[in-house]
Amino acid sequence: MLESKDVAAVIFHSPGFLVGINAETHSKLRYDATERWVPDAYKRMTDSIALRELAPKFDKAIGSVRTSFYNPTLAAKASTRVRI
């Protein structure tokens, strides 16, 4: 597979049960074939994995932004202002 692009294409595009490979091994072979024959796609795949790990951190960041911009004490003081 790492020496023949045709073999890599067959393994990549065929379902695992047709080539007689279990799902975990088939997934790894597809990943390895992408790394060898389509390096740009491989880079995008690894970048997407990094982004997936970053997403759960957004909730914490959103919560901290809200608390830094909104202060109930200051809001209460602002509501007592009188405009003329």
Give the amino acid at 9: A
CB-count burial class (<10 Å; 0-12, 13-18, 19+) for 10: middle
pLDDT, one tens digit per residue, over 54-65 is: 888 888 877 777
Flag the least confident range among 9-23, 39-53, 56-70.
56-70
Which 8-state DSSP code applies to residue 71? -
Tell how many helices (H) and how many strands (E) occur in the chain: 6, 0
- For residue 31, give both structure tokens: 């990943």
Q: Write down how long the chain is.
A: 84
pLDDT tens across 27-49, in order?
999 999 999 999 999 999 999 98
